[in-house]
Structure 1
Amino acid sequence: MLQELIDEVLRIWVAGGTLMIPLAILGMVIYFALFEIIVYFGFNDYYNSNPDEWKHWVDEPDDATGRLGDIIQYAQHEVHSMEDVRDRMEEIRSSHLSRINSRIRFAAILVGTAPLTGLLGTVTGMLNTFYGLSNSAAGNTVDLVAGGISEALITTQTGLVLAIPGYIMLNIVKRRRDQMSAFCTQVEIMTLKRFEKGKIKA
């Protein structure tokens, strides 16, 4: 059963022509980039913290622990004005979200390239088909036409197979990025309120 699957994959790979190689490389780079972002969120999932817990930490920063604790303590340590709090939170956003945004843009470009690369395979496949038709006197006309059509369809399908899950994963990471950004805004608002009440000592 496994051998049959391997043989079928190899048959499709060969029928897809030379563009299957850049498509395979493109697919590996796309999903490496997307999984890297997902892993980053896994190690920085403080935006899913218990609201009661982190709100208590904003009021009592000495009790805060972990990555979120470091953020809360940094936002309140030796601040002299509300502008200082905003600057600290902007630094936190920049250190986390700018890195994520750059990777999302990179992954989005790659995902958008996949169907275009498949379309290029369609063009080359159709050119091979027309070449087969123009040499209709030759005995291998049917083989040339069939090979060209096969290449045209397989590369297009491969490009879409790479792109569709990629777009889904992009939406997932964008939603997590928005959650992280919204969480930072909540922490900033709570910290500013605490400073306004005079509970943060410079």
Structure 2
Amino acid sequence: MQVVEAFMKYIELGGYVMPPLVVCTLGLWFGLGYRFSAVQGRGLPPRRLLEMALAGELTRPVGILEQGAVIGARLSKDFRGRLDRELEVQFHPLRVEVGRFRRLTGAIVGIAPLLGLLGTVSGMIETFDSLGDMTLYSQSGGIAGGISQALLTTQFGLAVAIPGLILKGLLDRRQTTIEIQLQELKALICGEGAKRVHHE
């Protein structure tokens, strides 16, 4: 209870900008958590994953690449027609999944410092208004309240944005790697399909 009360007091001191920042924090960490789970996998190269899928060893694929390997193994055995086009269609949902919430997290990382800056400006306005009246404390906060709002919103905005920016960068690189590996997997599957056609 004391932690909750302290947090609510913190939000109150920060002024009207703090609730949107709290919403941004929740949205950011939800998006980052979802993206983190989406890029998980066994860490094996595409060739090895395809070999496992063709051998029936990937009964429970745990990542995007594993799912792609299973789809590719099935198509390389059964599909008749332009395998590359069919793989492009089948892999599209996987690419969408691995990139889900990328724009949301990027937008929040950009918005959070601006919200903090807005709170800083509002706090400084309150401070200067109170200096004109020589009011240390008032119903709206006074000098002390204005300074507190200016500092807290800046702090909170940066506290949301900086970790989010770092983690987003790491996840973006992992997403790019997976997309490249999907292309490599597609090439390997097309090769397997060509071998099957040749043997037939």
What is the TM-score with the length of structure 1 in the denominator?
0.78
> Structure 1 residues 167, 93: CA separation in 2 closer, same or farther (over 3 Å shift)?
farther
Distance 2:23 2:159 in 1: 14
Give the alignment's Cα RMSD to 1 decimal: 2.9
The partner residue of 1:146 within 144, 147, 155 is 144
The alignment status of 1:116 with 2:114, answered yes or no, reads yes
Distance 1:103 1:200 in 2: 42
Residues 172 and 121 of structure 1, relative CA distance in 2, 3 Å threshold: same
Matches within 5 A, 1:39-188: 39-42=37-40, 45=41, 48-49=43-44, 53-57=48-52, 61-66=54-59, 67=61, 68=66, 69-80=69-80, 84-136=82-134, 138=135, 140=137, 144-188=142-186
CA shift, 1:173, in A, is 1.8
Unaligned runs of 5+ in 2: none
| In structure 2, C-alpha distance between the alignment counterparts of 1:7 and 1:195, rounded to whole Å | 63
What CA distance in whole angstroms lies between the structure 2 residues aligned with 1:132 and 1:107? 37
Q: Deviations over 1:37-60 (max 9, x none)?
A: 212334xx25x23566325347xx
Contact 2:39/2:98 (CA < 8 Å) preserved in 1?
no
Q: 1:151 to 1:22 in 2, by over 3 A?
A: same
8 Å contact kept, 2:13–2:149: yes
Normalising by structure 2, report the TM-score: 0.79
